[in-house]
Amino acid sequence: MSITLDDAVQAIVVELQKMPGTTDKNETLWQDILREIQDSNAIHEHNITQIEEAIETFLRDIASEDKVALWKMTDAERAVYLKNTRMLLFDIVEEDLEAELLDEVSDLAYCIADNR
């Protein structure tokens, strides 16, 4: 499987579009986030937590080699190797990916909200 950051962001947004909104149950979480940005130019902490959970679910569902390949596409790449084994520390990979994907999803939300 070859996945790009854009593919990952879109998959996460699709999941957010399936989740109910936190302030208006007639909206999806994604719509709720976009409205928040338009109203207050911010994403509230409880919705950031929801985005983080969607990211964690996404990362849990992809193979380790896909995580590493995706991580290598990010600006956050910090190749951390154990001195004796030259083994990549997967907790660093996942931590970096979670932060990078949160930034990417948030940037997309701001971009969409600003263009409404």
The SS3 of residue 31 is helix
Q: What is the mean pLDDT of the chain?
A: 84
The SS3 of residue 27 is coil
Query: What are the tens digits of pLDDT across the range 51-92?
Result: 999 999 999 999 888 888 888 787 655 544 444 445 556 667
Please compute the mean of the pLDDT values over residues 2-7 and round it to a whole number. Answer: 88
Q: Which residue has the tokens 């940037």?
A: 107
User: CA–CA separation, 106 vs 101, rounded Å?
Assistant: 8
Half-sphere exposure of 75 (CA within 13 A, CB side): 5
